[in-house]
Structure 1
Amino acid sequence: MNRAALVPALLLALAALAGCASVPESSPVQVLRQVGGGEDALVPPGPVAGSNPLDLVRDFVFASGSSTERHGAARRFLSADAEGWDDSAGLTVLDGQFDTVPAPGAANPGSDTTTIRIRGTAIGRLTSSGSFEPGQAMFQQDVTVVRRDGQWRISQLPPGVVVPLSVFRDNYKPVRTWFVDPVRRLAIADVRHVPSVPARAQAARVMELLLAGPSGALTGAAVSLLPPGAQLRSNLTTTDDGAVVVDLTRLGDLDESSRQLLAAQVVLSLSEVNVGRVRLLADGEPLLPDRQDLTREDVAALSAEIEPGADVPGLVVAGGRVRQLSGPEPSVPLPGVLGDGSYDVESAASTVDGRRLAAVAHIGAQRTLLVGNGAAGGVTAVPLTAGTMTRPSWTPTGGEVWTVLDSAVVARVLVDNTAPPRTGRVNADELAAVGPIADLRLSRDGVRVVAVVGGGLYTGAIARTIDGEVAIRNVRRLRSDDLGAVVAADWRSPESIVAITRSPEMLVGQVTVDGLVVQQIVSNNLTAPLTAIAAAANRPLWVTDQTGVWSFGGGDQVAWRQVLGGAPDAVPLYPG
């Protein structure tokens, strides 16, 4: 069976109640305890007797959040005329507000047939593969409602499902499915959304998503070690001692490294749905001969995720010098030429381990990129000059630093300890076609970029080839209406971005990498406009306003705290 033939079957199974992977009829594996059975869903109530057409359609939209029994709760609102409704044709997510109103030209109230319009703002759609594709736009959809035996029911409606965001979040769980960076040979995360109920079926659903391959957002940047045609030999089962049995077949010839990466894909993905231990088999035998059961800790070293160490300080560029910002002496300049005034530094970045620094400096009317080893070491001028350069950003390994020249050209500099820095280019045509690039940050797992382009917030996947070509692909804009004009952004985690904007309604906002959720962050004591931001996992946010740099750690903190005053030009930075 090839992958093209496999995917429709997988997606159909994903929509089913049990969510169990399809099993070949000839499977010799005995089911011990099937994962996904024996748990009933709480189905939303059906239509209220005597509902008017407007309330009926509104209640139908809310009931559509439950995918149980092929949206069985929503189907209660349909007449026999609409029983062929195709609920598998994608799911549109609306923001928090939507209306049901009579459609233009709808019949008068005394008629037994009328048309109701669902009206709101769409924020994107959930594909049949469980990935959310952002796209904020006005939404309207008309449904026909008929009165039969004194009760209104929906008799005609377009294919697909429509739900408000709050209902979607109540009914779907975000999970990270894991695939592989084909160049670095590390596991990378791909966010999907699976039905929350029944919870015991989620493991089987996750396996279906793994077999279907990476989402469109990571096309060209991720592959699967599950080859086309791979499938499960049996339903997922649980042993008496609590391990979930995953028995795969048609894996082809995999070397040891590929088997380990495949194990990482499966084990990391299942850990997202509370599977603590996996017994991973290939045709009934252990995939890794020396390990019967695997836990997340066993494969964690193969994950591309990386966080700055607690001992690597945050820095700030202020007054043309690179300074400490975290630690016992905030604002003290670093030793060496980047801190002593030898250069007029505009922005900077350190590697995740703090061993290298890159800085953008004014030299005459131009900007030049400087690269050095360590906070106190010397620097080398990279043969790049431009009228403007964005704040540098490092890859996780510290082997490349990226910047944008003159708001249009994405440049990368290859750095090692044996040769002078070498320059190269990134194919960023998709990004540059949108407009001028004001800011660009690499994610700390090395998979994506976030960029501010023409005032909008965009993400893209980093696609690399074995021969060294690099491109930014699958460019998508996030939450254009909610964020407005964006100034700068940074990665808080591989799945979360923080941005500062010119909008007084949301000076600081946090948005998921797929654009599904945006949250306003308190900004009550900041003085607009904001000019810079720095973020990292498990560290406070830093922003620069008109008075200096402020810190916000969340939790019980109700306001920002100033950590550096009198520095409206400051550019704070965390490693990465």
Structure 2
Amino acid sequence: MRRLLLLLVAVLLTAGCASVPGSSSVQVLRKVTEGDAPEIPAGPADGTDPLSLVRTFIYANGSTVDRHSAARRFLTPAASQGWDDGESLTVLDEQFDTVYPPTSGTDPNVATVRIRGEQIGTLDSVGAFEPAESPVEIDVTVRRDGGQWRIDRLPGGVLVRLSDFRTNFRTLKARFVDPVRRATVTDLRYLPAVPAQALPSRVVDMLLTGPSPALQGAAQTAVPATARLRTNVTESPDGALVVDLTQLGDVDEARRRLIAAQFVLTLAEINVPRVRLLADGAPLLDGPTDLTADALSSTNATVQPGADVPGLVVTGGRVRRLPGGDPLLGQAGNGAFDVVSAATTADGARLAAVARDSGRQKLLVGATDGLLAAVSLTADAMSRPTWTPTGSEVWTVLGPGPRAVVARVAVDPNGATRTGQVNVSALTALGPLTDLRLSRDGMRVAAIVGGGLVTGAVVRGDDGDVVVRNVRRLWPTDLTQVVGLDWRADESLIVVTAPSDRPVSLVSSDGLTLQLVPSANLTPPLRAVTAASSRPFLVADQGGIWSYDGGELDSWRQVLGASPDGIPLYPG
């Protein structure tokens, strides 16, 4: 198995720093922050042989400064002039080889060097990462001139190792719009970290192009297609970023507020505190001239569970509170039903439970501490339910088998239910679907398909139909025998697998990074996992339920023992 660049995740749940044991092969990647420009790689050393020259050229490709000027030092003048570095960007796994092909020419001053490695994916023209694991094999020609080897012929595009990509590109959560809820959702993008002064203009251009392919059809932009910049993006004398738009057309105040939220919240990602957003020179919104992220935070579509809503666990046929294991007061906890799995809405008020019934399973919905009513659904097996952010729908996979169906149960404010289906043919085309979780903004799903991790976008039609599209299989070589998954945030997933060499991992929702979570104290194989922002991870192993806060030198702590069938859950 090829070696991966893995990240220790001790810093992901708290403000603590990562700690890497001296014997570990895990590498910690430095993130670039404002004012922390990556060091420009040096040029080729005198006397470098062809293989080392090409390898060091790949290292230098990470620096985007001045059209990859660092990498161009490794090229002959003719090659530098002809190289189209903007044609494509391929992200490579850390381990790659430079070798001589079996056959080569007879000219002692010309050689062919073959680059062999594995690509993780590509970066598209709008800064979105597209996962695509596949072998890479590229030949370049090197020529000796004046005693020094230089690359004389190479294909267009750039090959960048993952570590160099992370060092030289900045992660950005761009904001677009959920067309149903009219709220903002995040879309992962990556921008060159330097020059820092170009970042605001790049962000604005990105927002004018619309959502990435991963969210096409699911998210929209509130910015009209005709919109353009009236003037260049500038900074005012008092420090506000001035963005002056034109050709917006006739847009009402609600849409203007969404436009403002897209720009202001996205620009806040690159540490722009105040935005003076104009339309043909006049303020876009009534009120303060300069807009801040705090003023527009209410537009966020993501719903995280309240701090007073506890985590739960299903064990022994009952739903219990964590920590401690006290059963819920209602039918979910008093033994009225033999509960297999459950989920509560983000506010904790409503619960959906899968219960055994005469050799089959059924879905129940009702008040968390009250009565539960059966929904007109039964199956040989049902996956753990998952709620939309508003608590108006609950989904579950009816299976097992290659023809699994995803049921969508609409729940009105009075508790009445209406049952339908989600079109998941794009998922089932990849293999048997066994589990599915909605993201906390409701725009994405993560699923276990054929034992692997697959993501997709939730597309809601005007006719009420719901379809999962834009599916992507993430890290298929490394994430096998997946047994549980959940969304930690809209940009990251936690995954547990049966193999003991990688029992718990964090994965970015676009598949760029796979991050190893320490597994000390856990006893594989694991069974289930749950996560939420600013909450400890909860994992079920052979002995009980374990919690991981992610602090420096932290380890998993048991929060409930003697529960070999336990399934932990956070609201959502």
Tell me the residue number matched to 2:362.
368
Contact kept, 8 Å, 1:89 with 1:128, in 2: the verdict is no
Match of 1:312 among 306, 309, 314: 309
1:475 correspondence with 2:471? yes
Deviates more, 1:114-123 or 1:189-198: 114-123
Report 1:198-213 matches (<5 A).
Answer: 198-213=195-210
Name the aligned partner's letter for residue 103 of structure 1: P
Contact kept, 8 Å, 1:535 with 1:541, in 2: the verdict is yes
Report 1:67-86 matches (<5 A).
Answer: 67-82=64-79, 83-86=81-84
Instruction: Specify the SS of the correspondent of 2:82.
Output: coil
Instruction: Specify the SS of the correspondent of 1:245.
Output: strand
1:48 correspondence with 2:45? yes
Name the aligned partner's letter for residue 73 of structure 2: R
Instruction: Specify the SS of the correspondent of 1:480.
Output: coil
Tell me the residue number matched to 2:88.
90
Instruction: Specify the SS of the correspondent of 2:94.
Output: strand
Tell me the residue number matched to 2:244.
247
**Offset of residue 465 of structure 1:** 2.0
Distance 1:428 1:225 in 2: 27
1:350 correspondence with 2:344? yes
**Offset of residue 501 of structure 1:** 0.7
Contact kept, 8 Å, 1:351 with 1:394, in 2: the verdict is yes
Report 1:385-404 matches (<5 A).
Answer: 385-404=378-397
Tell me the residue number matched to 1:5.
none
Contact kept, 8 Å, 1:533 with 1:571, in 2: the verdict is yes
**Offset of residue 107 of structure 1:** 4.0
Tell me the residue number matched to 1:301.
298
C-alpha distance after superposition, 1:142-174 (max 9, x if no partner): 111111111111111112110110100010010
Report 1:50-199 matches (<5 A).
Answer: 50-82=47-79, 83-107=81-105, 111-199=108-196
1:439 correspondence with 2:435? yes
Q: How many residues get paired?
A: 534
Match of 1:383 among 376, 379, 384: 376
Distance 1:268 1:124 in 2: 27
Tell me the residue number matched to 1:527.
523
Contact kept, 8 Å, 1:183 with 1:465, in 2: the verdict is no
Tell me the residue number matched to 1:34.
none
Name the aligned partner's letter for residue 337 of structure 1: Q
Judging changes above 3 Å, is the alpha-carbon distance between structure 1 residues 41 and 513 closer, same or farther for their aligned structure 2 residues?
closer
Contact kept, 8 Å, 1:106 with 1:116, in 2: the verdict is no
**Offset of residue 419 of structure 1:** 5.8
Tell me the residue number matched to 1:278.
275
Tell me the residue number matched to 1:539.
535
Name the aligned partner's letter for residue 108 of structure 2: S
Distance 2:54 2:342 in 1: 54
Contact kept, 8 Å, 1:438 with 1:488, in 2: the verdict is no
Contact kept, 8 Å, 1:39 with 1:198, in 2: the verdict is no
Name the aligned partner's letter for residue 207 of structure 1: V
Tell me the residue number matched to 1:265.
262
Report 1:533-572 matches (<5 A).
Answer: 533-572=529-568
Deviates more, 1:139-148 or 1:269-278: 139-148
C-alpha distance after superposition, 1:343-384 (max 9, x if no partner): 1100000000001000000101211000012x2110110001
1:456 correspondence with 2:452? yes
C-alpha distance after superposition, 1:534-576 (max 9, x if no partner): 1111111111111111111111243211111111111000000
C-alpha distance after superposition, 1:260-301 (max 9, x if no partner): 100000001100000000000001010113231100011110
Name the aligned partner's letter for residue 396 of structure 1: P
Distance 1:525 1:114 in 2: 53
**Offset of residue 41 of structure 1:** 7.8
Distance 1:385 1:106 in 2: 66
Distance 2:570 2:544 in 1: 17
Distance 2:218 2:134 in 1: 28
Judging changes above 3 Å, is the alpha-carbon distance between structure 1 residues 40 and 334 closer, same or farther for their aligned structure 2 residues?
closer
Contact kept, 8 Å, 2:244 with 2:277, in 1: the verdict is yes
Contact kept, 8 Å, 2:37 with 2:193, in 1: the verdict is no
**Offset of residue 104 of structure 1:** 2.6
C-alpha distance after superposition, 1:167-197 (max 9, x if no partner): 0001001001111111111111101000011
C-alpha distance after superposition, 1:200-249 (max 9, x if no partner): 22111111110111100000011112222321111111112211100001
Contact kept, 8 Å, 2:38 with 2:168, in 1: the verdict is no
Distance 2:361 2:155 in 1: 55
Instruction: Specify the SS of the correspondent of 1:483.
Output: coil
TM-score of the aligned structures, taking structure 1 as reference length:
0.91
Instruction: Specify the SS of the correspondent of 2:364.
Output: strand
C-alpha distance after superposition, 1:295-346 (max 9, x if no partner): 00111101112211110010000001001113xxx11111121111111100
**Offset of residue 396 of structure 1:** 0.5
Instruction: Specify the SS of the correspondent of 1:542.
Output: strand
Distance 2:496 2:376 in 1: 32
Higher RCO (CA 8 Å, separation ≥ 6 residues): 2
Distance 2:187 2:262 in 1: 11
1:493 correspondence with 2:468? no
Name the aligned partner's letter for residue 353 of structure 1: D
Unaligned runs of 5+ in 1: 1-37
CA RMSD of the aligned region, Å?
Answer: 1.5
Deviates more, 1:153-162 or 1:259-268: 153-162
**Offset of residue 42 of structure 1:** 5.0
**Offset of residue 453 of structure 1:** 0.6
Distance 2:509 2:396 in 1: 21
Contact kept, 8 Å, 1:404 with 1:411, in 2: the verdict is yes
Tell me the residue number matched to 1:25.
none
Judging changes above 3 Å, is the alpha-carbon distance between structure 1 residues 104 and 128 closer, same or farther for their aligned structure 2 residues?
farther
C-alpha distance after superposition, 1:45-93 (max 9, x if no partner): 2221211101110111011111122111111111133221111122111
TM-score of the aligned structures, taking structure 2 as reference length:
0.91
Structure 1 consecutive aligned stretches of length 4 or more whose deviation exceeds 3 Å: 38-43
